């Protein structure tokens, strides 16, 4: 049929007085029994299906009952209805669903009591009223996308922007702040901020807790008042600071202030490059140094200090115990309050290399044993060795003795390794001793097979020599005693002869 707009189609037998003029190329499959309102497929290329429905928008489709309708009859308008599902009444036309030509989908108003199906779709109006603090709904929750000049990031809905810096691109801000600030929150690219008054300004950094700050690239600050300002640094705990690149500070009031340094524990400080300080009040100042325990100090590079109030100030030194000091290059000090001393970064032959302290305080220092770099050693007490018969087998009398000792050649000498030493050492030459007493000559495992002497094993031979010498002395004493007795008799005989001679002389004179 053509009712003035062009040819359209309507079901046969419908009363035209109950419909409006059909649109061009429209299809009207609806039923109308209402002469008050205008129903049917009125717009060009429209379709109407249902009861008392009206398709009034160009190329639209309407189904259901008493829809809202509206729109332009003969041209495409983006904001006009494209599809309507009517659910109205005689006095109140309405839609259950509307799809506009620009793709917008709208639905009627609901309150929360009407949403009983967990899979039900809701409208923006519903969400605003129930989840965004509007109307009679709840307080704001969730994240909102923001662009404050750096790119889109996300912050908790309802946060006061005056209390935060500009959110970083791809940043996530789950923090809370009460005071005005331009640095609070996740302001770095890809940064994360969680907690109260935290600041995550470094790119891809993370700040979690209360008053924490992560300003280095890839840095992490967690806890209370921690600061991670170095790139890829980590600060955890309470008031700890990781101030340089690749540093780590964990615990309370720890400070890692040099490249790659680590400070862990309670009030520790790692200020040397790649140094590590652990424990309570320890300080690692030297490069690659390490401290642990309480109030220890490692100031020499590559040094280690452990225990209580120990100090490793020599390069490559090691101090452990209570109040010990390893002050010379490469030295080791153990025990209690050793003497210490020496040059920290130069090899000096007379410096201590190993010390066992047996002092009682810082003003009463002493060593039980000191081994010097030149090989000399000082023992404050007595050196003993196991000598229990029960520990020995294959016991034989020594064949060495006085003659062996007499064949030895004691000498004085200087060590080639320490040309600066003027004082000569005393001893024997191992190559000269080896053919005489092979057992006390030890062959080294080094490539030169350096020979050494066991001077303690020379003692039994000296004892045997002394015994042999004493035997000779005893024999000689007996011989001397016999000769002395004979001499006495000879003297007595001589005196008797002299007396006789004197008598004879007197007799002849008379």
Assess whether pLDDT exceeds 80 at residue 340: yes
| Confidence bin at 131 (pLDDT 50/70/90) | low
Find the DSSP H helices in 308-374: none
Assess whether pLDDT exceeds 90 at residue 124: no
Residues 355-374: what's their mean pLDDT?
A: 96
d(Cα 224, Cα 210) in Å, to the nearest integer?
A: 5
- Tell me the pLDDT of the chain averaged across its residues: 92
Report residue 124 as tokens: 């923006």
| Confidence bin at 18 (pLDDT 50/70/90) | very high
Assess whether pLDDT exceeds 80 at residue 128: no
Assess whether pLDDT exceeds 60 at residue 140: no
Coil, strand or helix: which one is 472?
A: helix
Instruction: Report pLDDT for 492.
Output: 86
| Confidence bin at 126 (pLDDT 50/70/90) | low
Instruction: Report pLDDT for 384.
Output: 86
Q: Which residues pair with 99 in a beta bridge?
A: 83, 105
| Confidence bin at 418 (pLDDT 50/70/90) | confident
| Confidence bin at 292 (pLDDT 50/70/90) | very high
Instruction: Report pLDDT for 438.
Output: 94
d(Cα 351, Cα 52) in Å, to the nearest integer?
A: 111
d(Cα 15, Cα 31) in Å, to the nearest integer?
A: 9
Assess whether pLDDT exceeds 80 at residue 219: yes
Assess whether pLDDT exceeds 80 at residue 504: no
Assess whether pLDDT exceeds 90 at residue 463: yes
- Per-residue pLDDT tens over the stretch 244-276: 999 999 999 999 999 999 999 999 999 999 999
Measuring CA to CA, which residue among 217, 196, 199 is closest to residue 207?
A: 199
Instruction: Report pLDDT for 141.
Output: 64
- Per-residue pLDDT tens over the stretch 61-85: 999 999 999 999 999 999 999 999 9
Report residue 251 as tokens: 């615990």
- Per-residue pLDDT tens over the stretch 155-171: 999 899 999 999 999 99
Q: Which helix (H) or strand (E) is 207 found in, with range?
A: strand 206-210
| Confidence bin at 501 (pLDDT 50/70/90) | confident
d(Cα 334, Cα 318) in Å, to the nearest integer?
A: 8
From residue 41, give the alpha-carbon distance in Å to each of 17, 25, 45, 57. Answer: 14, 10, 8, 9
Instruction: Report pLDDT for 132.
Output: 52
- Cα-Cα-Cα-Cα torsion 444, 446, 450, 454, nearest 10 degrees, comes to -30
| Sequence-distant (≥ 6) Cβ neighbours of residue 358 within 8 angstroms | 335, 336, 337, 338, 366, 367, 368, 380
Residues 294-309: what's their mean pLDDT?
A: 98
Assess whether pLDDT exceeds 60 at residue 134: no
Query: Which is higher by pLDDT, 483 or 325?
Result: 325
Residues 137-153: what's their mean pLDDT?
A: 81
Instruction: Report pLDDT for 114.
Output: 63
| Confidence bin at 129 (pLDDT 50/70/90) | low
d(Cα 159, Cα 140) in Å, to the nearest integer?
A: 9
Residue 210 burial by Cβ neighbours in a 10 Å radius (0-12, 13-18, 19+): middle
| Confidence bin at 331 (pLDDT 50/70/90) | very high
d(Cα 223, Cα 215) in Å, to the nearest integer?
A: 15
- The answer to whether the beta carbons of residues 80 and 57 sit under 8 Å apart is yes
| Confidence bin at 14 (pLDDT 50/70/90) | very high
Range in 97-111, 223-237, 277-291, 398-412 with the lowest mean pLDDT: 97-111
What is the DSSP secondary structure assignment for residue 21, as one 8-state letter? P
57 φ, ψ (degrees, to nearest 5) = -110, 140
């Amino acid at each position: 049929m053509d009712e003035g707009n062009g040819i359209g189609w309507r079901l046969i037998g419908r009363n035209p007085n109950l419909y409006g003029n059909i649109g061009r190329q429209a299809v009207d499959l609806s039923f109308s029994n209402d002469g008050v309102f205008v129903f049917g497929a009125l717009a060009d290329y429209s379709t109407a299906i249902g009861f008392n429905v009206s398709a009034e928008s160009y190329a639209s489709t309407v189904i259901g009952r008493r829809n809202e309708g509206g729109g332009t009859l003969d041209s495409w308008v983006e904001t006009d209805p494209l599809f309507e599902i009517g659910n109205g009444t005689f006095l109140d036309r309405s839609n259950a669903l509307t799809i506009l030509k620009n793709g917008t989908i709208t639905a009627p108003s609901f309150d929360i009591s009407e949403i009983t199906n967990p899979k039900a779709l809701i409208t923006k109006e519903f969400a605003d009223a129930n989840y965004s603090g509007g109307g009679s709904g709840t307080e704001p929750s969730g994240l909102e996308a923001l662009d404050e000049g750096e790119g889109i990031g996300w912050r908790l809905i309802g946060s006061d922007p005056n209390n935060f810096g500009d959110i970083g691109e791809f940043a996530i801000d789950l923090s809370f702040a009460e005071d005005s600030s331009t640095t609070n929150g996740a302001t770095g690219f890809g940064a994360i901020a969680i907690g109260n008054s935290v600041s995550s300004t470094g790119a891809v950094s993370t700040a979690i807790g209360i008053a924490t700050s992560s300003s280095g690239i890839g840095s992490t600050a967690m806890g209370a008042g921690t600061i991670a300002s170095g790139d890829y640094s980590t600060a955890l705990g309470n008031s700890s600071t990781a101030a340089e690149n690749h540093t780590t500070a964990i615990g309370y009031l720890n400070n890692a202030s040099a490249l790659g340094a680590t400070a862990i524990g309670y009030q520790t400080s790692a200020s040397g490059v790649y140094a590590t300080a652990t424990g309570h009040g320890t300080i690692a100042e030297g490069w690659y140094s390490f401290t642990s325990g309480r109030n220890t100090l490692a100031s020499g590079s590559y040094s280690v200090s452990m225990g209580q109030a120990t100090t490793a100030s020599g390069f490559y030194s090691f101090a452990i115990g209570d109040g010990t000091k390893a002050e010379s290059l490469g030295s080791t000090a153990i025990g209690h309050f050793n003497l210490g001393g020496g040059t920290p970064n130069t090899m000096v032959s007379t410096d201590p290399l190993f010390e066992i302290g047996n002092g009682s305080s810082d003003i009463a220092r002493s060593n039980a044993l000191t081994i010097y770099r030149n090989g000399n050693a000082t023992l404050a007490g007595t050196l003993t060795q196991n000598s229990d018969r029960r520990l020995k087998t294959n016991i034989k009398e020594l064949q060495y003795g006085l003659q062996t000792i007499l064949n030895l050649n004691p000498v004085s000498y200087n060590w080639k390794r320490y040309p600066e030493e003027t004082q000569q050492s005393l001893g024997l030459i191992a190559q000269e001793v080896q053919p005489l007493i092979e057992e006390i000559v030890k062959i080294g495992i080094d490539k030169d097979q350096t020979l050494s002497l066991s001077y303690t094993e020379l003692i039994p031979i000296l004892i045997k020599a002394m015994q042999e010498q004493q035997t000779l002395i005893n024999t000689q004493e007996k011989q001397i005693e016999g000769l002395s007795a004979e001499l006495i008799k000879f003297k007595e005989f001589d005196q008797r002869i002299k007396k006789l001679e004197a008598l004879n002389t007197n007799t002849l004179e008379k």
